Amino acid sequence: MSTPRPASPADEAEEAVARVLEAERSARKEVARCERQAAQFVAEARQRVAELHQRTGARIERLRERMALTAERRLNELRAEQEELALDSRPDAATLERLDAAIALLAAEIAGESTQG
């Protein structure tokens, strides 16, 4: 039976270098895996943002449509109210006759004053 020979400093250094290189390879693989995972997270986040943007745009459009319909209904109500008020404020025939007479009298007074002046 042979007894294991003690490792020489050169053998130990070689083994240490091999362990360091293996650790470096493992670290690079892990970094690459993390980069791929991060890229996947970013892609998924961008997709969610795009979907959210699309849903938000659709909601805004529906809100605009509802606001436009509400504004149109209110405008129609105001127009109807305006027409009703215009009809209610029209003077009757007797009032128109008094106004015509007052206008004629005023015109005569103005014409008389200007011819007298």
Q: What DSSP letter does each residue of 32-88 carry, written as one string?
A: HHHHHHHHHHHHHHHHHHHHHHHHHHHHHHHHHHHHHHHHHHHHHHHHHHHHHHHHH
* Alpha carbon separation from 5 to 1, 2, 10, 11 (Å, rounded): 12, 8, 13, 11
Secondary structure letter of residue 90 according to DSSP = S
pLDDT single digits (tens) 25-82: 999 999 999 999 999 999 999 999 999 999 999 999 999 999 999 999 999 999 999 9
Domain boundaries, the chain: 14-91
The reported pTM is: 0.48
Nearest residue to 24 via CA among 32, 35, 36, 13: 32
